[in-house]
Amino acid sequence: MTKVCVIGLGRTGMEIARVIMEQRDMRLVAAICSDFSKKAGKDIGEILGLPDTGAKIYTSSQLNYVLEKIKPDVFVDFSNYKATMSHVASISEKKAALVIGTTGFSKTDILRMKVLAKKNGSGILNAPNITVGVNVMMLLSNIASRILSDYDFEISEAHHKHKKDSPSGTALKIADQIEEGLQASGVKINESIPIHAVRAGGIIGRHEVMIAGENDKIEIVHESFNRKAFADGALKGIRFIKGKKGFFGMQDVLDLERVLASYFDKRKIPVASSSS
Protein backbone atom coordinates (compact mmCIF):
# COMPACT_ATOMS: atom_id res chain seq x y z
CA MET A 1 0.00 0.00 0.00
CA THR A 2 1.50 3.31 -1.11
CA LYS A 3 1.07 6.16 1.38
CA VAL A 4 0.42 9.41 -0.53
CA CYS A 5 0.37 13.07 0.47
CA VAL A 6 -1.07 15.71 -1.88
CA ILE A 7 0.51 19.17 -1.86
CA GLY A 8 -1.77 21.92 -3.15
CA LEU A 9 -5.52 21.69 -2.78
CA GLY A 10 -6.77 23.75 -5.68
CA ARG A 11 -9.28 22.26 -8.09
CA THR A 12 -6.77 19.86 -9.62
CA GLY A 13 -5.24 18.85 -6.28
CA MET A 14 -8.68 18.09 -4.84
CA GLU A 15 -9.58 15.94 -7.85
CA ILE A 16 -6.31 14.03 -7.47
CA ALA A 17 -7.02 13.51 -3.75
CA ARG A 18 -10.49 12.20 -4.59
CA VAL A 19 -9.17 9.73 -7.18
CA ILE A 20 -6.36 8.49 -4.91
CA MET A 21 -8.97 7.61 -2.29
CA GLU A 22 -10.64 5.30 -4.83
CA GLN A 23 -7.48 3.21 -5.39
CA ARG A 24 -6.93 -0.13 -3.68
CA ASP A 25 -3.13 0.10 -3.81
CA MET A 26 -2.89 3.64 -2.38
CA ARG A 27 -3.86 5.43 0.81
CA LEU A 28 -4.17 9.19 1.10
CA VAL A 29 -2.51 9.89 4.46
CA ALA A 30 -2.25 13.69 4.42
CA ALA A 31 -2.53 16.85 2.36
CA ILE A 32 -0.63 20.13 2.55
CA CYS A 33 -2.01 23.60 1.85
CA SER A 34 -0.57 27.09 2.19
CA ASP A 35 0.02 28.58 5.63
CA PHE A 36 -2.89 30.98 5.12
CA SER A 37 -5.48 28.50 3.82
CA LYS A 38 -8.77 28.01 5.66
CA LYS A 39 -8.54 24.30 4.82
CA ALA A 40 -5.72 23.77 7.34
CA GLY A 41 -6.58 21.44 10.22
CA LYS A 42 -9.62 19.93 8.50
CA ASP A 43 -10.12 16.32 7.50
CA ILE A 44 -9.63 15.81 3.76
CA GLY A 45 -13.05 14.19 3.51
CA GLU A 46 -14.67 17.39 4.76
CA ILE A 47 -13.41 19.55 1.89
CA LEU A 48 -14.27 16.84 -0.65
CA GLY A 49 -17.83 16.48 0.64
CA LEU A 50 -17.12 12.96 1.88
CA PRO A 51 -17.13 11.25 5.30
CA ASP A 52 -14.06 11.81 7.47
CA THR A 53 -11.05 9.88 6.24
CA GLY A 54 -8.71 10.28 9.21
CA ALA A 55 -6.26 12.12 6.96
CA LYS A 56 -5.70 15.73 7.95
CA ILE A 57 -4.70 18.84 6.04
CA TYR A 58 -1.47 20.44 7.22
CA THR A 59 0.19 23.73 6.34
CA SER A 60 3.43 24.15 4.41
CA SER A 61 5.25 25.02 7.62
CA GLN A 62 4.24 21.61 9.00
CA LEU A 63 5.95 19.69 6.20
CA ASN A 64 8.69 18.34 8.45
CA TYR A 65 6.07 16.98 10.84
CA VAL A 66 4.38 15.16 7.95
CA LEU A 67 7.74 13.80 6.77
CA GLU A 68 8.81 12.57 10.21
CA LYS A 69 5.53 11.41 11.77
CA ILE A 70 3.29 10.37 8.88
CA LYS A 71 6.07 9.32 6.48
CA PRO A 72 4.33 9.31 3.06
CA ASP A 73 5.97 7.17 0.38
CA VAL A 74 5.04 9.62 -2.38
CA PHE A 75 4.17 13.31 -2.44
CA VAL A 76 2.09 14.65 -5.35
CA ASP A 77 2.65 18.38 -5.83
CA PHE A 78 0.13 20.58 -7.66
CA SER A 79 0.84 23.81 -5.78
CA ASN A 80 3.03 26.38 -7.59
CA TYR A 81 6.66 26.46 -8.62
CA LYS A 82 7.75 28.74 -5.77
CA ALA A 83 6.18 26.45 -3.17
CA THR A 84 7.67 23.41 -4.87
CA MET A 85 11.20 24.82 -4.75
CA SER A 86 10.75 25.64 -1.04
CA HIS A 87 10.03 22.02 -0.06
CA VAL A 88 11.69 19.82 -2.69
CA ALA A 89 14.97 19.59 -0.73
CA SER A 90 13.26 18.46 2.50
CA ILE A 91 11.28 15.76 0.70
CA SER A 92 14.31 14.55 -1.24
CA GLU A 93 16.50 14.40 1.87
CA LYS A 94 13.96 12.08 3.52
CA LYS A 95 14.11 9.92 0.38
CA ALA A 96 10.37 10.24 -0.18
CA ALA A 97 9.35 10.20 -3.83
CA LEU A 98 7.88 13.30 -5.45
CA VAL A 99 5.54 13.73 -8.43
CA ILE A 100 5.54 17.36 -9.60
CA GLY A 101 2.69 18.57 -11.77
CA THR A 102 3.34 22.29 -11.36
CA THR A 103 4.89 24.42 -14.12
CA GLY A 104 6.93 27.59 -14.48
CA PHE A 105 10.32 26.24 -13.39
CA SER A 106 13.53 27.82 -14.66
CA LYS A 107 16.41 25.77 -16.06
CA THR A 108 18.22 26.40 -12.78
CA ASP A 109 15.26 24.98 -10.85
CA ILE A 110 15.29 21.83 -12.97
CA LEU A 111 19.04 21.45 -12.51
CA ARG A 112 18.62 21.77 -8.75
CA MET A 113 16.00 18.99 -8.75
CA LYS A 114 18.31 16.71 -10.72
CA VAL A 115 21.17 17.37 -8.30
CA LEU A 116 18.94 16.66 -5.28
CA ALA A 117 17.66 13.39 -6.72
CA LYS A 118 21.21 12.21 -7.43
CA LYS A 119 22.69 13.43 -4.15
CA ASN A 120 19.96 11.98 -1.92
CA GLY A 121 19.11 8.87 -3.91
CA SER A 122 15.47 9.95 -4.11
CA GLY A 123 12.96 9.76 -6.93
CA ILE A 124 11.61 12.94 -8.55
CA LEU A 125 9.14 12.86 -11.43
CA ASN A 126 8.82 16.26 -13.09
CA ALA A 127 5.61 16.05 -15.09
CA PRO A 128 4.19 19.43 -16.13
CA ASN A 129 2.67 17.45 -19.00
CA ILE A 130 1.08 14.82 -16.76
CA THR A 131 -1.93 13.84 -18.87
CA VAL A 132 -1.39 10.69 -20.91
CA GLY A 133 -3.08 12.13 -24.00
CA VAL A 134 -0.80 15.16 -24.27
CA ASN A 135 2.24 12.88 -24.10
CA VAL A 136 0.88 10.92 -27.05
CA MET A 137 0.45 14.28 -28.79
CA MET A 138 4.15 15.00 -28.20
CA LEU A 139 5.10 11.65 -29.68
CA LEU A 140 2.94 12.29 -32.75
CA SER A 141 4.49 15.76 -33.13
CA ASN A 142 7.96 14.23 -33.00
CA ILE A 143 7.05 11.65 -35.64
CA ALA A 144 5.42 14.28 -37.88
CA SER A 145 8.43 16.60 -37.74
CA ARG A 146 10.77 13.81 -38.85
CA ILE A 147 8.60 12.87 -41.80
CA LEU A 148 7.35 16.37 -42.75
CA SER A 149 10.60 18.22 -42.18
CA ASP A 150 9.90 20.70 -45.00
CA TYR A 151 6.57 21.81 -43.46
CA ASP A 152 6.01 24.78 -41.12
CA PHE A 153 5.12 24.07 -37.49
CA GLU A 154 3.26 26.35 -35.08
CA ILE A 155 1.81 25.69 -31.62
CA SER A 156 -1.26 27.25 -30.02
CA GLU A 157 -2.26 26.72 -26.40
CA ALA A 158 -5.10 27.96 -24.20
CA HIS A 159 -5.63 27.79 -20.43
CA HIS A 160 -7.75 29.43 -17.76
CA LYS A 161 -7.12 33.08 -16.92
CA HIS A 162 -5.49 32.27 -13.57
CA LYS A 163 -2.61 30.28 -15.07
CA LYS A 164 0.47 32.45 -14.58
CA ASP A 165 3.14 30.88 -16.81
CA SER A 166 2.86 31.64 -20.51
CA PRO A 167 3.53 29.76 -22.71
CA SER A 168 2.71 26.60 -20.79
CA GLY A 169 5.38 24.09 -19.85
CA THR A 170 3.59 21.56 -22.03
CA ALA A 171 3.72 23.84 -25.09
CA LEU A 172 7.46 24.28 -24.57
CA LYS A 173 7.90 20.49 -24.36
CA ILE A 174 5.92 20.04 -27.57
CA ALA A 175 8.21 22.57 -29.26
CA ASP A 176 11.24 20.62 -27.99
CA GLN A 177 9.86 17.43 -29.50
CA ILE A 178 9.24 19.11 -32.87
CA GLU A 179 12.72 20.63 -32.94
CA GLU A 180 14.28 17.29 -31.98
CA GLY A 181 12.47 15.59 -34.86
CA LEU A 182 13.52 18.26 -37.34
CA GLN A 183 17.16 18.03 -36.22
CA ALA A 184 17.07 14.25 -36.53
CA SER A 185 15.98 14.75 -40.15
CA GLY A 186 18.91 17.06 -40.85
CA VAL A 187 17.10 20.38 -40.52
CA LYS A 188 19.10 23.19 -38.96
CA ILE A 189 17.01 25.07 -36.37
CA ASN A 190 17.51 28.83 -36.73
CA GLU A 191 14.40 30.01 -34.88
CA SER A 192 12.25 28.57 -32.10
CA ILE A 193 8.91 27.01 -33.00
CA PRO A 194 6.28 29.80 -32.69
CA ILE A 195 3.92 29.42 -29.71
CA HIS A 196 0.68 31.38 -29.32
CA ALA A 197 -0.79 31.47 -25.80
CA VAL A 198 -4.31 32.39 -24.65
CA ARG A 199 -5.38 32.88 -21.02
CA ALA A 200 -9.15 33.20 -20.75
CA GLY A 201 -12.13 32.08 -18.73
CA GLY A 202 -12.10 28.59 -17.25
CA ILE A 203 -10.37 26.73 -20.10
CA ILE A 204 -8.77 23.64 -18.51
CA GLY A 205 -6.17 23.05 -21.19
CA ARG A 206 -5.93 22.90 -24.97
CA HIS A 207 -2.83 22.41 -27.14
CA GLU A 208 -2.73 22.42 -30.94
CA VAL A 209 0.08 21.81 -33.39
CA MET A 210 -0.47 23.12 -36.90
CA ILE A 211 1.70 21.52 -39.58
CA ALA A 212 1.34 23.41 -42.85
CA GLY A 213 2.81 22.60 -46.25
CA GLU A 214 2.35 24.27 -49.61
CA ASN A 215 -0.63 22.08 -50.52
CA ASP A 216 -2.06 20.65 -47.32
CA LYS A 217 -2.23 21.01 -43.56
CA ILE A 218 -2.31 18.66 -40.57
CA GLU A 219 -3.51 19.58 -37.08
CA ILE A 220 -2.80 17.62 -33.90
CA VAL A 221 -5.00 18.70 -31.00
CA HIS A 222 -5.26 17.68 -27.36
CA GLU A 223 -7.90 19.11 -25.05
CA SER A 224 -8.64 18.20 -21.43
CA PHE A 225 -12.39 18.10 -20.74
CA ASN A 226 -12.02 17.89 -16.95
CA ARG A 227 -9.34 17.58 -14.30
CA LYS A 228 -9.69 13.82 -14.02
CA ALA A 229 -7.29 13.66 -16.97
CA PHE A 230 -4.62 15.13 -14.68
CA ALA A 231 -5.59 12.74 -11.88
CA ASP A 232 -5.27 9.71 -14.16
CA GLY A 233 -1.78 10.84 -15.13
CA ALA A 234 -0.89 11.42 -11.47
CA LEU A 235 -1.87 7.83 -10.62
CA LYS A 236 0.50 6.52 -13.29
CA GLY A 237 3.21 8.80 -11.94
CA ILE A 238 2.74 7.60 -8.35
CA ARG A 239 2.93 3.95 -9.34
CA PHE A 240 6.01 4.61 -11.47
CA ILE A 241 8.09 6.70 -9.05
CA LYS A 242 7.63 4.68 -5.85
CA GLY A 243 10.95 3.06 -4.95
CA LYS A 244 12.87 4.64 -7.84
CA LYS A 245 15.98 6.80 -7.64
CA GLY A 246 16.72 9.60 -10.09
CA PHE A 247 15.05 12.36 -12.05
CA PHE A 248 12.34 11.36 -14.54
CA GLY A 249 9.73 12.77 -16.92
CA MET A 250 6.42 11.43 -18.21
CA GLN A 251 8.22 10.03 -21.24
CA ASP A 252 9.84 7.59 -18.79
CA VAL A 253 6.51 6.71 -17.17
CA LEU A 254 4.96 5.89 -20.55
CA ASP A 255 8.18 4.39 -22.02
CA LEU A 256 7.93 6.69 -25.04
CA GLU A 257 11.65 6.36 -25.87
CA ARG A 258 11.10 2.68 -26.66
CA VAL A 259 7.93 3.36 -28.65
CA LEU A 260 9.63 6.07 -30.72
CA ALA A 261 12.79 4.04 -31.33
CA SER A 262 10.76 0.97 -32.31
CA TYR A 263 8.65 2.97 -34.80
CA PHE A 264 11.59 4.53 -36.59
CA ASP A 265 13.85 1.49 -36.44
CA LYS A 266 11.33 -0.48 -38.48
CA ARG A 267 11.30 2.28 -41.09
CA LYS A 268 15.03 3.05 -40.97
CA ILE A 269 14.35 6.71 -40.16
CA PRO A 270 16.97 8.51 -38.00
CA VAL A 271 16.04 8.87 -34.34
CA ALA A 272 17.66 11.16 -31.78
CA SER A 273 17.57 10.69 -28.02
CA SER A 274 14.67 12.56 -26.44
CA SER A 275 15.38 15.67 -24.40
CA SER A 276 13.96 15.55 -20.87
- Residues serving a catalytic function are 159, 163
Residues with Cβ < 8 Å from 104, sequence gap 6 or more?
A: 80, 81, 164, 165, 169
Going across the sheet that includes 2-7, the strands are 56-59, 26-33, 2-7, 74-77, 97-100, 123-126, 246-248
